[in-house]
Amino acid sequence: MTADAGDPPSTCTESDCERQAAVRLRVPWEADHAVCPACARALVQRGGVVAEPLPGHEDAWP
């Protein structure tokens, strides 16, 4: 499942994760994903992946 720029999902799009999505991951080789901060911290370590907070969740991502 991927995030639409106009209406991000309310829960993390990673499988087996039901936490609130707060970060959009911009992944060059696939569509953007809205994920929770915990999943974002792990996924952003891949080269080329950029994380940015979703609107209204700026405090959830340093």
Task: DSSP for the chain, please give it.
Answer: ---BTTB--SB--STT--SBP-EEEE-TTS--EEE-HHHHHHHTTSTT-EEEEPTT-GGG--
pLDDT digits (tens, 9 = 90+) for 7-49: 667 899 999 999 999 999 999 998 998 999 999 999 988 888 8
pTM of the model: 0.75
Q: List the domain boundaries for the chain.
A: 1-62
